[in-house]
Amino acid sequence: MAKCTAVIDIGSNSIRLAVFQKTSRFAFHILHEAKSSVRLSENAYKNNGFLQPEAMERTALALGEFLSIARSFGARKILCVATSALRDAPNASIFLSRIRRNHDLSIKVISGEREAYLGGMACANLLPQIPEAVTVDVGGGSSEFTLLRDGKVEQLFSLNIGTVRIKELFFDTDNIAGAIEYIDEALKQLPRFDTTTLIGIGGTFRAITRALMKKEEYPLKKLHAYTTDETLFLRFTDQIQDSTPKKLRSLFIKPDRFDTIKPGSLILERIVRYTKSKTLICSGVGVREGVFLSDLLRNSGDRFPANYNPSVRYLLDTYGLHSTHAQQCAHLSKRLFELLHVSLGISPEHHRELSIAAKLLSIGVDVRYYAYQRHSHYLAMNTLDYALNHSQIALISHLLLFKKGHTSSSLVPKEGYGTLLPDNSTLDALSALLWLSHILLASRIDASEVSLRIEEGKLLVSGKHLYLAREQLKNIILPKNLIVVFD
């Protein structure tokens, strides 16, 4: 696979570009994103689906500049897919031929089922693992649904309900009742899913989520994996439906969404009610990531290896040039956790966060050694995006902060992500285990050289090359029921 790959997604409402850079076999990050609200399907639904000249001209101009951007990054592979607008248009071949002739670009028009698969597969790989959920991607012309079970795509559906389609057929004539009837009739094609978890993909869901997060003053600026409940979500979509443009602005809806946010929010409201969803999760990934992953993971069944996290691997690839010590800390912290988590009252579920924090312990060093813990914290907080929920990201990132003679709970910001962290005793205990592993390996020895055992409620540590560890132990505050003795 090319090290740098560009993916272009041509939708009914917008076209989007994402440039992906690989850092190792399965690890990657996004170098650049671009979006243009070309409204390719504008006035098409009023004209029997025929694409209009002005809309095709806008789209062609944007595509040309997207290609220029991709080439500026040295993209050696450019993958371009188109969805509902070109899928439905009787004159799609005219536009496709023009782009092939003028830009030497072949656009792959994908089916609704393939579109659903790509979005669902991206969620299965890049969201925290969920036993069962339904993804919904509300686009300009259609909405795609995928049933996910245990990380696998189970069922695919595509319905002709999209923001631009509903706007032109119903909202432009103020026929809201007709829109509801049309949407509800289309939804009858879906089965009654057993799951009550809905994952939202696409611009409409993200626009609503972004606005809701601002309204609720949510502490993290991360759309991906943001979770809310149906009551809060439906209350907000009701507000959107009843709002004037001035009121939409006060609800943090961006002006470029004013004409499609009401039909989009209505579609989502009817979907949430029909599926009886209780938990709603926002996905920051969708068709573009699905196209990229289908290429990246083509020889592994479209799935990452078990327990693989591309965000963690990217950080280690990029900032972990001196991560050998951190890897040894991960080994030692695991042993400490197994010995002490019961006596320290730490839930077993926190083992994963501790392990990831240990692996990322040294990433800040490659930014600057002095205050490297703060750099590590910043990098983790802003780069850990995939396969982790927001509480996990906050905990991992916070554990990387360290100040001599302070507990971890005393370093929690007064305003911010503190509400996402576990209780103070758990936080302090996890931090103590992490930084104890760092101190016991102060002489940069292998974790296997340190022996640990519990006797009479004390942690006995033995081994060679522990002089520096003895000296530095005073720098951390241990839980009251954790006594460390060098044997």
String of DSSP letters for 113-162: HHHHHHHHHHHHHHSPP-SEEEEEEE-SS-EEEEEEETTEEEEEEEES--
**CA-angle at 418, arms to 281 and 132, nearest 5°:** 20
According to DSSP, residue 465 is labeled S
Provide the pLDDT for residue 415.
86
Residue with tokens 């790509």: 118
The CA–CA distances, whole Å, from 313 to 25, 240, 325, 372, 468 equal 10, 40, 16, 19, 30
Q: Considering only CA atoms, which of 269, 112, 120, 271 is closest in space to residue 192?
A: 271
Are the CB atoms for 361 and 331 separated by under 8 Å? no
Strand-pair category, 483-486 with 143-149: unpaired
Provide the pLDDT for residue 110.
97
- Encode the chain (487 residues) as per-residue pLDDT tens digits: 569 999 999 999 899 999 999 999 999 999 999 999 999 999 998 899 999 999 999 999 999 999 999 999 999 999 999 999 999 999 999 999 999 999 999 999 999 999 999 999 999 999 999 999 999 999 999 999 999 999 999 999 999 999 999 999 999 999 999 999 999 999 999 999 999 999 999 999 999 999 999 999 999 999 999 999 999 999 999 999 999 999 999 999 999 999 999 999 999 999 999 999 999 999 999 999 999 999 999 999 999 999 999 999 999 999 988 789 999 999 999 999 999 999 999 999 999 999 999 999 999 998 999 999 999 999 999 999 999 999 999 999 999 999 999 999 999 998 899 999 999 999 999 999 999 999 999 999 999 999 999 999 899 999 999 999 999 999 999 999 999 999 8
Task: Provide the token pair at 471.
Answer: 């000296």
Provide the pLDDT for residue 2.
63
Are the CB atoms for 436 and 445 separated by under 8 Å? no
Provide the pLDDT for residue 164.
92
Residue 155, exposed/middle/buried by CB under 10 A (0-12, 13-18, 19+)? Answer: middle
Q: Considering only CA atoms, which of 108, 87, 111 is closest in space to residue 9?
A: 108
Q: Considering only CA atoms, which of 448, 421, 82, 137 is closest in space to residue 286?
A: 137
How many DSSP H helices and E strands does the chain contain?
Answer: 18, 14
Residues 6+ apart with CB under 8 A from 141: 11, 12, 41, 45, 83, 84, 85, 87, 88, 160, 162, 164, 165
Residues 6+ apart with CB under 8 A from 135: 116, 119, 120, 123, 144, 145, 146, 148, 198, 199, 200, 201, 283
Q: Angle, to 10 degrees, between the axis of helix 230-241 and the axis of helix 258-275?
A: 140
Cα separation of 354 and 248, whole Å?
Answer: 42
* Local structure of 197: helix, strand or coil: strand
